[in-house]
Amino acid sequence: MSLLKRKLSSAKPAAESRGRPQRAQAKMLAKALVSNTAPSTQQSLLWTDKYEPGSSASLAMHKKKIEEIRLWLRNADASLQLGLPPTPRMLVLSGPPGSGKSTMLRVLARELGFELCEWVEPRAQGRPSLVERERGEAEEYESRVAQFEAFVRSSLRTLSLCLGNGPEVASTVRRRLVLLDELAVSSVSDGDSPMQRQQDILRRALPTARFPVVVILTAGSEAADSVHRQLERLAGPDAEAQRLVAHVNPVADTLLLKALRHVCAQEHLDLPAGALDAIVHSASGDLRSALHSLQFTAVGRARPAATMRQDRGGVRARAAAAECSVGRDRFPDLFRTIGKILNQPAKRARQRAEAAKPEAHAKEQREPQREHAEAPRDDSDDFAPEVVIQSSALDEGMVLAFLHHNYPSFFESVDDVADAAAALSDAATLMRAHSLSPWQPQLLPYVGSIGGRAVVSCNQLPAPPRFSQISKPRVFTVERLVLERRQQAVAAFLAPSGGTLPVRQSDIALQGSSQLMVEVLPMLQLLVARDPTGEQALTNTQRRVLTELAFSNSPCRSLPLCTPQAAAPPPAAAAVSRPICEAIPADADEIEESD
Amino acid sequence: MLWVDKHRPKSLDGLDYHKPLSQQLKRMVSAGDLAHTLLYGPSGAGKKTRIMAMLREIHGPSVERLRVEQRTFKRANGTDIELTIVSSNHHLEFNPSDAGIRDREVVQEIIKEVASSGPVLIGSSNQGKSDFKVIVLNEVERMSKPAQHALRRTMEKYTASCRLILCCTNPSQVIAPIRSRCVCLRIAAPTHEEICAVLSAVARKEGLNLPPQLGLKIAQSSERNLRRALLTLEACKVQQYPFTEQQHVQLPDWQLFIGGVVDDLVSEQTPRQLLKIRSKLYELLSNCIPPDLIMRTIVRQLLSKMPMPVRMELLHHAAIYEHRMQAGSKPIFHIEAFLARFMSCYKKFSVANHGK
């Protein structure tokens, strides 16, 4: 039942194209079936829906990007129809919200004659109440994950099931694009959460998919790393060959302005130029938000007849801009926030030096020692790191990690570093206490506050200003690496069906992994490094684990593997981010070779 | 096969040291009943060897026919827990802390299962001799408190059909009710002489000639851990044979690496140096060396290099940050804070001394 509903909504071919109000009405009915929140009259349509572009020419996006995606779509479809594997069958489209990712895909699918199957997150549907069940009118409860699994299976494999009841999905259509929009990606990977299972389902289904899949991930431009992490969780690290990553940039201001002008013209709305500029500025590349702002601004404004005198701009325009700029808060990004905090001591020192300069001569003669002793404790400028952190809307743990990773290069004296490090360690302890009982959020402000103040107040002798780059903390990578390697090692050495093992399984199987890592494996490394082909018969997986665990100064950094074929390392992680335009010709070559 | 495994004693009589304890165990077993037992002692002292020898004494050589299996436990909400279990016909062994925070359910489940099937299985095969199954639990101290309490209840409930042998390094982390229900046996780490004796015995069996001085050196470098000593011996043999007395004893890489960190610490105390050390720490951590071990090794190596007045401060701060590390997340924060503090102290000290 619910499956059918989804199909209904997926048949909604995205846009209510202008000039065909009846169709739009019908579609809205379909929409209303799915979610009751849909507006019921055309008047109250959101402009973002009303003015969805109908062709790729009117998309507010760079032409090149559109062409890339179009090319991939064609290639992927061709290769899948012919049964050739090489072209990645999954496209991951990432970009900030409101940059037109989904819209572009819908438009392209329509233009290329693809049938679009879109996963719509099911309505928050509780288990049917007892009363409903008694009356027998509750539809069968199906868990979200089960629904997802059914959707993935039916949409990726079989064609006949997914029927378009609209006229535009012709019966001859044999092409389909499966769109997974806004998949929730879980942050924990314990194999437990429903999201995790959702990812597993997708990962399993992908190799046998018969249609191209597009996954849309929404992420800000500064969080490119998080996109990668999400990706890894989503499709597994081994699926790199099967997917392609494209990033959509925020809509350029000029394009934004153009789009808004177009809408204004359609709506016969005449806003002063300043107002439009203000909206564009505050939207910061988010077309959806810009349109919302525009609509909001236009509400209740008299729609003048087509003519209005333009020359009344001037002061009034600016006033209008101030009045109507439905501002979104612009958050300063992470690096700037961290930099601001870390640079504060140097800035303060500079200010102090400047302030002291005129009086220096006079004071120097009178009481130079006291001046020197007093100066460092002077925190009189009211710089509050809390304010900076709060205004950036960042997670305190993240701020802490960044601060910790970057602070030493701003310090000159070890004593100060020691103080700051002690305070950061306090903050980390608090953070842990918070994560143990996350329902008590009152600890969090302290974390940011202590961390921020530590690097500012303790830094009495700031390093001379030089170019020091704020870099990403390694803590998280290291943590991930530890988990991965430990799992690998345990799997390689303690696998239940591991064949001939040099180490008696029962012994270390239960020693716990730390003993394996600390006592047994380092020695095994030494043994194997000295005597590569000796009696310690290791499998290749085991050798690889040993090599990976070797320190940079250790002799068994390059452990020879038994058979060179099997030794080929897994495809490098760089493949994830290879640009889309390079990937396709390379794969095309492969097709020719395989022929 | 590694020598550690190859030359592991099989029977209670064959154990090399702690002879009185072995005799005691033997008497206990021959009396026909085995109480719940808790063995504790440092790593590499021979706890596991003793357990296996004891089981062999009870059930005969068939306990050595081991199966390793990956068991999956269904939970009430449908998710699974995977756990490696080693078992023979007569016993079953696993590490409950592998199940993470869900160890409680796993422990209860397994014990219940064994207890309900145990008597039937054994009763049919050999009558009367020992109609109980043994469950060996490793790293009990890492079990969560709820799991330990659950274990306590289960222990009482199923005494008729199964016995528990618990194994841990630090009994203070095991709740008192469990300790009181077990015979607690301390397996002390072997002394240097005992290690030397074992080493030379193993060398004799391998047909090698081990000079006593080298044996002593290996024993000293192994920190009274017999497993490590035997592994080191094997590494030394691969490195250079015939042995010489002055032979360099091979240390594991991570120890050498920490040595490098300590040298860095002593040579220069600046924030820049701290950054350099930090990247080394990251390398250590990402090679799965546990943070507390890093901390401990650094402190130990520093202590031997520091003048007396600094040692006190060093230990003081080490204790503080070790505590923090156990309480908090992100060990790098705490290790680094400790190192920075140490640098500061040491710098002050050396400046003061130069001033004189």
For an interface test with B, which of A400, A483, A490, A510 has the most B Cβ atoms less than 10 Å from its Cβ?
A: A510
Q: Which pLDDT does position A588 carry in this prediction? A: 36
In angstroms, rounded to a whole number, what is the distance separating the alpha carbons of residues B316 and B13?
45
- Say yes or no: A374 contacts chain B, CB-CB below 8 A: no
Token representation of residue A299: 């509400």
SS3 assignment, position A120: coil
For an interface test with A, which of B63, B103, B227, B253 has the most A Cβ atoms less than 10 Å from its Cβ?
A: B253
A397 burial via Cβ count (<10 Å: 0-12, 13-18, 19+) = buried
Contact indicator for B10, B56 with CB cutoff of 8 Å:
yes
Chain A closest-CA separation from residue B127 CA (Å): 28
Contact indicator for B134, B122 with CB cutoff of 8 Å:
no
Chain B closest-CA separation from residue A481 CA (Å): 6
Better-scored residue on pLDDT, A380 or B163: B163
Residue B66 scores a pLDDT above 50: yes
Q: What is the pTM of this model?
A: 0.61
- Say yes or no: A404 contacts chain B, CB-CB below 8 A: yes
Contact indicator for B37, B166 with CB cutoff of 8 Å:
yes
> Which chain B residue has the Cα nearest residue A193?
B79
Q: Which pLDDT does position A223 carry in this prediction? A: 47
b/e burial code for range A447-470 (CB count within 10 A of at least 16 → b): bbbbbbbbbbbbbbebbeeeeeeb
In angstroms, rounded to a whole number, what is the distance separating the alpha carbons of residues A43 and A51?
13
Task: Please report the beta strands in chain B, taking only residues with DSSP state E, as ranges in sequence order.
Answer: 37-40, 67-74, 80-87, 91-94, 133-137, 162-168, 183-186
Residue closest to B269 by CA, chosen among B352, B343, B175: B343
Across the interface, whether the CB atoms of B321 and A520 are under 8 A apart is answered no
Q: Which pLDDT does position A28 carry in this prediction? A: 41
Q: Which residues of B touch A486 (CB under 8 A)?
A: 288
Per-residue pLDDT of chain A (595 residues; tens, 9 = 90+): 444 444 444 444 433 333 344 444 444 434 433 333 334 444 567 777 777 777 777 777 778 888 888 888 887 777 776 666 566 777 777 777 777 787 888 888 888 877 777 776 655 544 545 555 555 544 555 566 777 777 777 776 665 444 444 444 444 456 777 777 666 554 444 445 566 666 677 777 776 777 777 877 776 544 445 555 666 665 555 545 566 777 777 777 788 888 888 888 877 777 776 777 777 777 777 788 788 777 777 776 655 443 334 434 444 444 444 444 444 445 556 777 778 788 888 887 778 777 776 655 554 444 444 444 344 444 556 677 777 777 776 777 788 888 888 888 888 888 888 888 888 888 888 888 887 777 777 778 888 888 888 888 888 777 776 666 777 788 888 888 887 887 777 777 765 443 334 344 444 444 556 677 777 777 777 777 766 655 556 667 777 777 777 776 655 445 444 433 333 333 333 333 333 333 333 333 333 333 3
Q: Which pLDDT does position B145 carry in this prediction? A: 82
ipTM of the complex: 0.73
Across the interface, whether the CB atoms of A418 and B227 are under 8 A apart is answered no
Q: Which pLDDT does position A470 carry in this prediction? A: 75
Edge-to-edge strand ranges of the sheet holding A115-119: A115-119, A176-181, A213-218, A90-95, A243-247
Across the interface, whether the CB atoms of B348 and A507 are under 8 A apart is answered no
Chain B closest-CA separation from residue A218 CA (Å): 29
Task: Return all residues near B19 (Cβ < 8 A) that are at least 6 apart.
Answer: none
Across the interface, whether the CB atoms of A504 and B321 are under 8 A apart is answered no
Across the interface, whether the CB atoms of B271 and A412 are under 8 A apart is answered yes
Q: C-alpha angle with apex B204: B198 to B208, nearest 5 degrees?
A: 115
Across the interface, whether the CB atoms of B84 and A509 are under 8 A apart is answered yes
Token pair 């789009």: residue: A259
For B334-346, what is each residue's pLDDT tens digit?
Answer: 999 999 999 999 9
- Say yes or no: A551 contacts chain B, CB-CB below 8 A: yes
Q: Which pLDDT does position A84 carry in this prediction? A: 60
Across the interface, whether the CB atoms of A431 and B271 are under 8 A apart is answered no
Q: Which pLDDT does position A382 carry in this prediction? A: 67
Smallest Cβ distance to B332: which of A475, A510, A552?
Answer: A475
- Say yes or no: A373 contacts chain B, CB-CB below 8 A: no
For an interface test with A, which of B1, B2, B348 has the most A Cβ atoms less than 10 Å from its Cβ?
A: B2
Q: Would strands B133-137 and B67-74 be described as parallel, antiparallel, or unpaired?
A: unpaired
Residue closest to B101 by CA, chosen among A490, A188, A480, A519: A188
A 10 A CB-CB count for B149 gives 15
Token pair 């169709």: residue: A23
Across the interface, whether the CB atoms of B138 and A504 are under 8 A apart is answered no
Rg (C-alpha) for chain A, rounded Å, is 30
Q: Which residues of B touch A481 (CB under 8 A)?
A: 286
For B71-121, what is each residue's pLDDT tens digit?
Answer: 777 766 666 777 777 777 788 888 887 776 777 888 888 888 877 765 444
In angstroms, rounded to a whole number, what is the distance separating the alpha carbons of residues A186 and A189?
7
Number of H helices, E strands in chain B: 14, 7
Across the interface, whether the CB atoms of A551 and B321 are under 8 A apart is answered no
Chain A closest-CA separation from residue B290 CA (Å): 7
Q: Which pLDDT does position A307 carry in this prediction? A: 38
For B275-329, what is each residue's pLDDT tens digit?
Answer: 899 988 998 888 888 888 899 999 999 998 888 888 888 999 999 999 888 777 7
Q: Which pLDDT does position A163 carry in this prediction? A: 46
Residue B47 scores a pLDDT above 70: yes
Q: Which residues of B touch A433 (CB under 8 A)?
A: 327-328
Quick one: DSSP state of residue A55? S
Task: Return all residues near A185 (Cβ < 8 A) that are at least 6 apart.
Answer: A195, A199, A217, A230, A233, A234
Q: Which residues of A touch B347 (CB under 8 A)?
A: 414-415
In angstroms, rounded to a whole number, what is the distance separating the alpha carbons of residues B180 and B39?
13
The number of C-beta contacts closer than 8 angstroms across A and B is 204
Q: Which pLDDT does position A130 carry in this prediction? A: 53
> Which chain A residue has the Cα nearest residue B232?
A523
Task: Return all residues near B78 (Cβ < 8 A) that are at least 6 apart.
Answer: none
Q: Which residues of A touch B142 (CB under 8 A)?
A: 512
In angstroms, rounded to a whole number, what is the distance separating the alpha carbons of residues B256 and A246?
45
Better-scored residue on pLDDT, A170 or B195: B195
b/e burial code for range A346-381 (CB count within 10 A of at least 16 → b): bebbeeeeeeeeeeeeeeeeeeeeeeeeeeeeeeee
- Say yes or no: A415 contacts chain B, CB-CB below 8 A: yes
Residues A488, A494, A496, A498, Cα dihedral to 10°:
80
Residue B21 scores a pLDDT above 80: yes
Chain A closest-CA separation from residue B88 CA (Å): 11
Task: Return all residues near B303 (Cβ < 8 A) that are at least 6 apart.
Answer: B311, B314, B315
